[in-house]
Amino acid sequence: MNDKWLLKDTGNLNQMLRIREDKALTNVCEEFKDLVIVKHQYHVADDIMFPDPSCLAFFTAFEENHLQNLEEEESLVLYAVDIFEGKLSMYMYCNDAQKCVYDSISFLKSNSLYKCEFEIILNDCGKRLEKII
């Protein structure tokens, strides 16, 4: 894991929450008002609560090959990734939620095994993430 991410202790063995360490949430929310959450429901085996390696590889590629480019263009900021009880959620702040969703779909449609849904919260200002971090 590179220097800009921090694993947050949630107290739950079945949860992995990764948040940005290099950017304060308040600073991100001053620049980007809207929150877009990409959600993927993955299959949970009885003894394994985390996604299989191919699922993790797909979303890692989404993050590193797609979202990182959008972040460099200052279109959005991926602020947190939460893996918990069968759901992988990626929290992205942006100013144009529709563009963020369309840009994400352009990559996510490349593999129909990993269907996603989107939740958009306009003018979130960090309220949703403050509940989980």
Domain that holds residue 94: 5-125
Q: Is 131 inside a domain boundary?
A: no
What is the chain's length? 133
> CB of 116 within 8 A of CB of 38?
yes
Domain count, the chain: 1
The Cα 94–Cα 31 span in angstroms is 8
Concatenating the DSSP letter of every residue in 2-31 gives -TTEEEEP-S-TTEEEEEESSS-HHHHHHH
Q: What is the pLDDT of residue 11?
A: 87
Residue 21 CB contacts under 8 Å (≥ 6 apart), including other chains: 3, 4, 5, 6
Q: Is 77 inside a domain boundary?
A: yes
pLDDT below 70 — which residues of the chain?
1-2, 45-48
Q: 110: domain CATH number?
A: 3.30.70
Residue corresponding to tokens 């979303």: 59
The Cα 133–Cα 120 span in angstroms is 19
The Cα 84–Cα 132 span in angstroms is 12
Q: What is the pLDDT of residue 50?
A: 83
Q: Is 84 inside a domain boundary?
A: yes
Q: Is 132 inside a domain boundary?
A: no
Number of CB atoms found within 10 A of residue 66's CB: 16
Q: Is 11 inside a domain boundary?
A: yes
| SS3 category, 46 | coil
Q: Is 130 inside a domain boundary?
A: no
Q: Is 87 inside a domain boundary?
A: yes
Q: Where are the alpha helices (DSSP H) in the chain?
A: 25-31, 53-61, 68-72, 97-108, 127-132
Q: What is the pLDDT of residue 47?
A: 65
Q: Is 133 inside a domain boundary?
A: no
